[in-house]
Amino acid sequence: MSTIEMIEAAATRLQGHARLTPMLTSPFLDDIGGRQVLVKPECLQHTGSFKFRGAWSALTHLDPEVRARGVLAYSSGNHAQGVAMAAKLLGTRAVIIMPSDAPQLKIENTRALGADVVLYERGVEAREDIGERLSRDQGLTLIRPYDEPLVIAGQGTCGLEIAEQAAALGVTSGDVLACCGGGGLTSGIALALEKHAPGMRARPVEPENYDDVTRSLVSGKRETNATEAGGLCDAILTPSPGKLTFPILSRLSGPGIVVTEDEALHAMALAYLRLKIVAEPGGAVALAAALFHSDELEGDAVVAVISGGNADSAIFHKALEKYV
Amino acid sequence: MSTIEMIEAAATRLQGHARLTPMLTSPFLDDIGGRQVLVKPECLQHTGSFKFRGAWSALTHLDPEVRARGVLAYSSGNHAQGVAMAAKLLGTRAVIIMPSDAPQLKIENTRALGADVVLYERGVEAREDIGERLSRDQGLTLIRPYDEPLVIAGQGTCGLEIAEQAAALGVTSGDVLACCGGGGLTSGIALALEKHAPGMRARPVEPENYDDVTRSLVSGKRETNATEAGGLCDAILTPSPGKLTFPILSRLSGPGIVVTEDEALHAMALAYLRLKIVAEPGGAVALAAALFHSDELEGDAVVAVISGGNADSAIFHKALEKYV
């Protein structure tokens, strides 16, 4: 069970290790979105995504002897890199289970950060099963990507920063949009806002066809996507909301927003052009919602988290060619 | 005459208006550079370059009645946008004289920020002459791009942040590389480091064929480039060091470093890939020096300022195609 106290404790552990990402703005984006648009660029976090926060939170909380035996994670790429870098900095081994169709850049980076990468075929083997076997056989501690209280607490530190940075810009109410896969980031932010920015509300944003969280918030139970593979927004394609994250989202978050893949590409192009940052498709869906779904938002201002920037260059080219 | 007191006063005026850009790092860049590489991404500053600092410093120091009559600037694009946005935020008029071959994006942005843009032909008319005529006829105050003490003071605030952020990462000695045109940024940083990080040394970095500052530091007098137009690094192509900046650089900065245009493109690609930020060619030369001219550097760490990110997309594509 994640609590605000766990998030605040994680913030202390992250101090000086995770990067305090800035809050960006552009009058050009305000014009498009029709309200003040604040952007929290977690693509500038270590390893290019917010995932380093949760990984560092979890690994620094482990008993040193347990941590010394190594850690294990399954991930399409961003959690992988976050865990690999945290393990490297803490001097322990990381084994990462990745789908063979994960972006090549993410696989290469994870290896370059010193992790042992084990590839599996999506739809043939369940990554959870491989993970449990390796964990048992090799004494590795599994660091789940989102259904893990310490990981949620780490991601929640992003929400603490949003509350403080938005207030410094005079913004204390409005929607905070988070790119949402399993819900670790969104639920962590929701918990942080509940105490530190009670006028603000976390909302999950998902790509078309992978809107399990949005549908679950409507139905009140954990819905599942028809497919797991094949979308452009690889970073946030999870089959259903987490067991731990969904109750938090149900209690605290506003309705989900669903954007098209083209809207995500367009947001990538605008992040490049107006903010000078690199977003990956899954990392750009929240900005897409802020810019292109104004009618679904409330308030004079909106915060959009860009959750990651590990874009495959072919897709980045495509976004720029189409929209710049 | 710029002083450290002017820089510290400018920092107070900039507080809450300019963006405190973060300090970025990547283990991948450390490997390439062979030492700890710290990157100060001023491409994330308002209007996509450090120029907003100097513009805000100068405009906020003007007598309100003088400021209300409007300001004038000549610029290939980044100073233009900085002055245009500062004028807009302060509710006054900006007239910007830009070369007709300036990047289209920079001309469009300057107009979109509310400035009146006057185009001139490079090599036919001197922008200084047009500026003086307009200034006299319309009562506008000229904001020089670098040879202006208040502008140098504004750019120096970047140096204050570097001193503090580098120290927080344990770095108190080494070279601080700045992309250098007329020398406003480099000289401002040099003054800031002299007091706040005396173990660190500012060094100008220039592109091939536009190495006037580097040659001037060797000869001891202000040398001139053979040509002003035509280079890839449009942001930093000035004919010679400034009258005010050169004495500061002579006294405080280390030797200049000259990089090739291909090295600048390569640095742009690595900034995209490893830091998730967008640099323009002229804004990437300092990072290019940090990564590819290790043998010319001293110390275990180096700081590189990415001075701007207003890249034309065709050139950005080229950099990625060639080097990612």
Where does the pLDDT of residue B124 fall: very low under 50, low under 70, confident under 90, or very high at 90 and above? confident
Domains A4-50+149-323 and A52-142 share a fold: yes
Q: Which of B22, B48, B324 faces A21 most closely, judged by CB atoms?
A: B22
Q: In terms of Cα–Cα distance, which of A185, A189, A186 is closest to A163? A: A189
Q: At residue B304, does pLDDT exceed 80?
A: yes
**What is the structure's pLDDT at A76?**
79
CATH number corresponding to A52-142: 3.40.50.1100
Put simply, the chain B residues between 156 and 215 with a CB less than 8 A from any chain A CB are 168
Q: At residue B227, does pLDDT exceed 90?
A: no
**What is the structure's pLDDT at B200?**
98
Q: At residue B89, does pLDDT exceed 80?
A: yes
**CA pair distance B278, A320, nearest whole angstrom:** 13
A28 touches chain B (CB under 8 A): yes
A230 touches chain B (CB under 8 A): no
Q: In terms of Cα–Cα distance, which of B226, B224, B228, B266 is closest to B246? A: B224
Pick the range with the lowest mean pLDDT from A81-90, A186-195, B131-140.
Answer: B131-140
**Average predicted confidence (pLDDT) for chain A:** 95
Quick one: average pLDDT of B114-126?
89
Put simply, the chain B residues between 7 and 26 with a CB less than 8 A from any chain A CB are 16, 19-22, 24
DSSP letters spanning A102-126: S-HHHHHHHHHTTPEEEEE-TTTS-
CA B31 to chain CA centroid, nearest Å: 26
**What is the structure's pLDDT at B29?**
98
Q: Give residue-wise pLDDT tens across range B143-165.
A: 999 999 999 999 999 999 999 99
Q: At residue B229, does pLDDT exceed 70?
A: no
What ipTM does the predicted assembly reach?
Answer: 0.96
Where does the pLDDT of residue B80 fall: very low under 50, low under 70, confident under 90, or very high at 90 and above? very high
- Sign of CA pseudo-dihedral A227, A49, B20, B41: negative
**CA pair distance B6, B8, nearest whole angstrom:** 5
**What is the structure's pLDDT at A236?**
86
Q: Give residue-wise pLDDT tens across range B242-256.
A: 999 999 999 999 999
Q: Which of A88, A278, A313 faces B277 most closely, judged by CB atoms?
A: A278
Put simply, the chain A residues between 43 and 82 with a CB less than 8 A from any chain B CB are 43-44, 48
Domain ranges (residues) in chain A: 4-50+149-323, 52-142
**CA pair distance B73, B93, nearest whole angstrom:** 11
Structure tokens at A251: 């209690």
How close A167 comes to chain B (CA, Å)? 12
Interchain CB distance below 8 Å, B16 and A277: no
Could you tell me the fold of the domain covering A4-50+149-323? Answer: Rossmann fold (3.40.50)
